[in-house]
Amino acid sequence: MRLAAIFSEHMVLQRDKEVRVFGETEGAARIAVDIDGISIEEEVPGGRFELTLPPHAAGGPYTMTVREMNADGAADEKKIGDIYYGEVWIDNGQSNIEFEIRNARGGAEELETADFPLIRTFKCIKTPVIDDEVLKNEQYQEWKLCREGAFFEMSGVAWYFAKKLYKELNCPVGIVDCYQGGTSISCWLSEERLSKYPEGRIYQEIFAEAIKGQTEEEYNRKLLDYNRLVEEYLERERIAKAKNPDITPAELSAEAGDYPWPPPQGLASAFRPSGLYHTMLQRIAPFTSRGIIYYQGEEDSGKASGYRVLLEELMDEFRTDFRDDKLPVVILQLPMFIPRDTEDMRDWAYLREAQAEAVSATDGAMMIALTDCGEFDNVHPVDKKTPGERTAGEVLQLIYDRPCGIHMEADRAEKKEDGSVVLHFRNTFGALKNNPEGNELTDLRQELIKPDEEHIFGFEVCTAAGEWMVPDVWIDGETLVLTARDDISEIRYAFFNYGKVSLYNGEGYPLAPFRKKV
């Protein structure tokens, strides 16, 4: 008998929901699971098995015993101790959810001072293939307690999310880290789901063409060459940071060059379509959780037109594979970003729009607006506290019915007789607030921005003549009034890759990006 690696010491099981226990057997057997007086037994035919425990309230510690009884009377037994029932969340995506707490702003202090033994994290093995070494390493995996620096590899966003959730709910919190930097959405979707749409098949076709005629030896050689380039870069980076601990991304690029990217493609590449769906997500499915946090899109910003349908498909596949057709999926919208010396083509803005449209079309999905987050010329902003705590706040409001607030959204735009436009909003929480210091971004179009502190940043309007311009904007209660030199036909807010915004609601949550016809 081989239990899935996630069933290990110190784990957190989802409270108040049926919990699935799963693994593999070599042949037909009888599997029994016992925990806190609950006992279930089932005959399994061999291969993968799955048993379901009834709902259980929060609490612990408990010990789970899993026994395999073969037809010849032989038995195999595994005991798992220090188990708690609480709130479990899975985080998935690419580098900004992968970004570890030890590298985040304030992360070192968190690691030094944290003492939260009831916040626990399980880190999936990042692997492009399942081989004997991976299977061996899975046997030694355990959940880590968030104390004494032991969770330094945990996602920074997930840490701040879990910490706020724990303090508000006074309940054990388990985080399952399942991510890989640099991944496209296609890496996390099954072949069947990708091939359903032309927007997905294009990933498969591009990959097939890239590896056409490639041998295993050829790929391994390319991979060795690439890894050597990465090692050389990391050494230059280490030297540069040792000389100047406060080095900026631009200075680092000038000193060490740019990180080698992309890696070579091959049948054993972590970045192949559907690869990590099998080697990571399927290693933990269908583990029971409260929901999934998904933070990804940077790698697909050039394919925004097809992203919405794939994100909707991904959310549906999450619910299918984790056996919960109402599983909450929380989408973190992309923050602000633009590389140095680059024209703003608004591709990240279109990707954010695709994220918002997919969430709007999916019952039970949520979006976290990060309009005021991001760093110039740094695709990996070091502030992980803002997105982590903001995600926790919105989850607490919408899932746990705790009054924390959620982001604001544009509702409708009405033209008045004098030519001005009144913009209405959802989720104002009683007020609109302008905060010019709301983020640290430097706007790239300074000539369009008024210098006074009353200016509301981020709005652009299109006139009847087709000219885009920055309007005059002022707050009128819980609405905004916008005027321009000509009739306004369309409004957009924060619709750029990188720029300054300043509008918040009464709970301090930002206005989400939008485009809206008047």
DSSP-assigned letters across all residues of 36-52 = TTEEEEEEE-SEEEEEE
pLDDT at 238 > cutoff 70: yes
- Looking at per-residue pLDDT, the higher value among 452 and 296 belongs to 296
Backbone angles phi, psi at 128, to 5 degrees: -80, -20
Please tell me the predicted confidence (pLDDT) of residue 13. 98
At 322 the three-state DSSP class reads coil
Nearest-Å Rg of the Cα atoms of the chain is 25
Among residues 146, 139, 135, the alpha carbon closest in space to that of 177 is found at 146
- Please give the average per-residue pLDDT across 363-369, as a whole number: 98
Q: What is the DSSP letter of 262?
A: S
3-state secondary structure 397-459: HHCCCCCCCCCEEEEEEEECCCCCEEEEEECCCCCEEECCCCCCCCCCCHHHCCCCCCCCCCE
Which burial class, exposed, middle or buried, applies to 479 when counting CB atoms under 10 A from its CB (0-12, 13-18, 19+)? Answer: middle
Confidence of residue 450 (pLDDT cuts 50, 70, 90): very low
* Percent of all residues in the chain with a pLDDT value above 70, rounded to a whole number: 97
pLDDT at 222 > cutoff 60: yes
- What is the model's pTM? 0.95
pLDDT at 441 > cutoff 80: no
**231 vs 238: CA distance, rounded Å:** 10
Lowest mean pLDDT among 164-173, 271-280, 483-492: 483-492
Inter-CA distances, 109 with 97, 388, 435, Å: 20, 16, 28
pLDDT at 449 > cutoff 70: no
Tell me what the pLDDT averaged over the chain comes to: 94
**270 vs 226: CA distance, rounded Å:** 14
**494 vs 515: CA distance, rounded Å:** 9
